[in-house]
Structure 1
Amino acid sequence: MRVFIIHNFYQHAGGEDVVFRQEVAELSKHHDVHIFTRENKRGLKGMMQFLTYPFNFFVSRKIAAAAREFKPDVVHIHNLHYAIGPWFIRPLAKMGIPIVQTLHNFRLLCPSASLFFRGSIFTASLDEDFPWTAVRLGALDGSILKTFLTGFTYWVHRKLGTWDRISRFIVLSTFAKSMFQKSSFPAPSGKFAVRPNALDAYPRQEKRTDRFLYIGRLSEEKGIAPLLAAFADLPFTIEVYGTGPLQDFVEAMSKQNGRIHYHGFQPPEVLSLAISKASALIVPSICYEGMPMTVIEAFAQGTPVLASNIGILAEMVVPLHTGMHFDPFDQSHIRATVTAWADLGSEAKKGIAENCIAAYKRHYTLEKNMDRLVAIYEEAIHTKKRQAQ
């Protein structure tokens, strides 16, 4: 199969970039793969990229030319924001090429992409034809202009029927599918295929410690601030890995409290080892996550997960089977959950660890994930052929 994969890198690397690289590497083992990428820039060049976001004819021509030369059986889109934009979908569809798009976030529904704003879940855009509420509030980076242009980009392509040209939308969970289905986004249920993220990992079988672990971006929506505030009153140790806008806060908390250990940014092998030794991974997000790779890695290592009881996390983590849930907006509930986990017996923890490994093998192995991806490609190709008859 000839697969043309398109991806836009953010200025700061994220989970979407990991998934893109992983899929390219795996598909290339058995298929002919061609990629087209762009990267968001800073300064004047970045401003020009953003201003051409809705109608980037220059990039569109380049992608169309590459498609004519490569002659793909299917096109797979990951991220379009913002140096690529959606315009290229139209000429590729005119060529009769089936197009699949992975929806790593909720940007097609709201400029915020995360459905998070000012410390809480933000869903006003789901019922609006144009996201005026998000624009008025500056839901994207606190900027009315950036929010408007992003909202306009996806709104105008709704009106132009650009998204109708996508053969399949890949979502990471049934929760994500339900969010799109109950929104104003004009796509039938049959166009959505649920396919979780995956990881090629194995249990390290390291000796467990009694320490808790946080790995992720140090930002408001990830819930790191209330988590550490809760831990300040607990007799347990937490190891924190990551960088972000709240790094100064985390460093200050680490200096004030000897049980909060901050390690900054670390390579994947260090993080994997930390996960394998932890008593539990804590994911305190107060936004709707896509599908955290750290949770999948934890399951692969047999490390239980204590997670927020919202969004995909409520779906991935099963209480007292693969971990526990807590209310991320309630520090007392965070403390109670951490304490309850620490007090759980060793046999119960061992059983939960075994359940985590079983969940990984059942849902998140790379082999099963890639088989599902190829099946989605084949469905899209078959549907396109049937429509052409």
Structure 2
Amino acid sequence: MKILYLVHQFFPEGYYGTEKFILNTVKMVQKNGNKVKVITYSLHNPDTFPTADAEILSKEYVYEGVPVLAFRHRNVPPDSHVHLQDEQVFAFAQTILARENPDLVHVGHPMRVAGFVQACMKLNIPYIVTITDFYLQCVRGIMLRPNQLLCEGPEEGRACETHCHIPGVRERLAAARSIMASARFLLAPSEFVAAMLQKEFQIPVQVIHHGMSYRKIKRNHRVYGHNDTITFFYGGSLTSHKGVHLIIEAAKQIDSNRMRIKIYGTGDPGYTEHIHRMAAADSRIEFCGKYTENDLSEIYQQVDAAIVPSIWYENYPLTLHEALASGIPALVSNVGGMAEKIKDGYNGYTFRLGDANALAARMKQLVSDPSLLNHFKANLSNFMIPTIEQEIYSYSRIYSSIV
């Protein structure tokens, strides 16, 4: 069968959780003998696109054996990341879908590519949607109000109008409902994300947990003594809702030279500059920049505990998957998809969301007695993250039931 995958950004331009999920899925489905192509939005310089006489520019390339079609507006609308309806993308999508003639479309993220979903509806092309975050029910995408308090849901738009003062949100929610209602299947990687969607839209959501490609995973078998130095690790996007500043605030409360912190990733320039300034006087904190999946085995041999300090619900970050599969315990905020996998005191620690003092207390426990990690690592040896093969088997059954 021929399957198209829609995602808001893709490698090498975008390389975080949803992009990894799509890349891993596409590679496995392609390996199983199916024709695949990723369709994605790009913010690259319009001069790098070969088409010259159109409002929608496009180009094709191959990434690690995966064919990709990238497109963009000639002049990107400032709110293109918000709207679920775009006539220019809709018209372009109909042309592309007619040309590609797919048996099925799998939506990995609808941001900026929702016009393709609407074109699927018009052309009667079946599609499924994997909900990897809260974008369809939240304009901000993260269920976090401007005052940094968690939101419990849009409440048919009332909460958005009251707390975020967003106009037109009811129409957007109607468009989101239409996208989900017309999908053959709605899927989510965590019970929490599924429950949030069902609460707002009363639409059934099936859970398929993200699988892990163990080919690039090497388990960390380090054993700790009471006086060892330990290295904490953060990997992911450097944006405010990811809570990296909490790690730096917590580090300031720990007066010990037996602690190191490695921060990997890139992101919002303003926020990145801010956390660099916060950490400037602390030589224990190292900013390591961009990393790829190929770097994972080496990185996880050099660190001892992962920190996922998100101040939003978080769906279920692949960084956490990778750490646990590598035998690395984790310290995570106590809400959302993260709390599904970390049992406090068993395979890591949870701490109160947004509370740097609570995070510092957990970090101090490990710095004071690193041998506590031995208990967590022993428990992780009995903790199995699903394989990518198991995940793709579940998706393949869904594909076959539709086509």
TM-score category of the 2 structures, normalised to the smaller one: 0.7 to 0.9
**Aligned match of 2:6:** 6
User: Which amino acid in the other structure matches residue 237 of structure 1?
Assistant: R
Query: CA distance change for structure 1 residues 158 and 77 in 2, over 3 Å: closer, same or farther?
Result: closer
Alignment partner of 1:276 is 2:301: yes
Alignment partner of 1:350 is 2:374: yes
> Matched residues in 1 for 2:16 and 2:302: separation?
24
**Aligned match of 2:400:** 378
> Matched residues in 1 for 2:387 and 2:369: separation?
29
Gap runs ≥5 in structure 2: 46-72, 224-228
**Aligned match of 1:385:** none
User: 1:9: how far off?
Assistant: 1.4
> Matched residues in 1 for 2:287 and 2:198: separation?
40
Query: CA distance change for structure 1 residues 174 and 125 in 2, over 3 Å: closer, same or farther?
Result: closer
Alignment partner of 1:16 is 2:18: yes
> Matched residues in 2 for 1:246 and 1:18: separation?
23
User: Which amino acid in the other structure matches residue 76 of structure 1?
Assistant: H
Number of equivalenced pairs: 360
User: 1:305: how far off?
Assistant: 0.5
Q: Does the CA contact (< 8 Å) of 1:8 and 1:40 recur in 2?
A: no
**Aligned match of 2:155:** 127
* 2:218 equivalent among 190, 199, 203: 203
User: 1:39: how far off?
Assistant: 2.1
> Matched residues in 2 for 1:204 and 1:12: separation?
27
Please, what TM-score do these two structures have when normalized by structure 1?
A: 0.81
SS of the residue corresponding to residue 230 of structure 2 reads coil
Q: CA-to-partner distance for each residue in 1:49-98, whole Å, 9 max, x for gaps? A: 8299444344334433444444433211122212x22x443442354432
> Matched residues in 1 for 2:172 and 2:44: separation?
21
> Matched residues in 1 for 2:128 and 2:344: separation?
34
Alignment partner of 1:224 is 2:256: no
> Matched residues in 1 for 2:23 and 2:161: separation?
35
User: Which amino acid in the other structure matches residue 17 of structure 1?
Assistant: E
> Matched residues in 1 for 2:297 and 2:359: separation?
24
Please, what TM-score do these two structures have when normalized by structure 2?
A: 0.79
> Matched residues in 1 for 2:191 and 2:146: separation?
26
> Matched residues in 2 for 1:64 and 1:216: separation?
35
Q: CA-to-partner distance for each residue in 1:131-189, whole Å, 9 max, x for gaps? A: 323551xxxxxxxxxx546x366334257x44321111111100111111222x252x2
Query: CA distance change for structure 1 residues 255 and 376 in 2, over 3 Å: closer, same or farther?
Result: same
Gap runs ≥5 in structure 1: 137-146, 383-389
User: Which amino acid in the other structure matches residue 3 of structure 1?
Assistant: I
* 1:177 equivalent among 186, 194, 210: 194
User: Which amino acid in the other structure matches residue 155 of structure 2?
Assistant: D
User: 1:295: how far off?
Assistant: 0.8
Q: Does the CA contact (< 8 Å) of 1:124 and 1:134 recur in 2?
A: no
Alignment partner of 1:81 is 2:111: yes
**Aligned match of 1:287:** 312
Q: Does the CA contact (< 8 Å) of 1:254 and 1:262 recur in 2?
A: no
SS of the residue corresponding to residue 5 of structure 2 reads strand
* 2:342 equivalent among 295, 317, 321: 317
**Aligned match of 2:38:** 35
Bigger drift between 55-64 and 287-296 goes to 55-64
> Matched residues in 2 for 1:262 and 1:119: separation?
28
> Matched residues in 2 for 1:96 and 1:366: separation?
30
Q: Does the CA contact (< 8 Å) of 2:28 and 2:389 recur in 1?
A: no
Q: Does the CA contact (< 8 Å) of 2:157 and 2:170 recur in 1?
A: no
Q: CA-to-partner distance for each residue in 1:224-257, whole Å, 9 max, x for gaps? A: 2122111112123212222333222332333312
User: 1:302: how far off?
Assistant: 0.4
Matches within 5 A, 1:328-347: 328-344=353-369, 346=371
Q: Does the CA contact (< 8 Å) of 2:180 and 2:186 recur in 1?
A: no
Q: Does the CA contact (< 8 Å) of 2:310 and 2:354 recur in 1?
A: no
User: Which amino acid in the other structure matches residue 145 of structure 2?
Assistant: F
**Aligned match of 1:115:** 143
> Matched residues in 1 for 2:339 and 2:14: separation?
27
Q: Does the CA contact (< 8 Å) of 1:59 and 1:88 recur in 2?
A: yes
Query: CA distance change for structure 1 residues 28 and 368 in 2, over 3 Å: closer, same or farther?
Result: same
> Matched residues in 2 for 1:134 and 1:12: separation?
30
Q: CA-to-partner distance for each residue in 1:109-137, whole Å, 9 max, x for gaps? A: 1101111133534326431346323551x
Bigger drift between 270-279 and 73-82 goes to 270-279
User: 1:45: how far off?
Assistant: 0.9
> Matched residues in 1 for 2:120 and 2:42: separation?
21
RMSD: 3.0
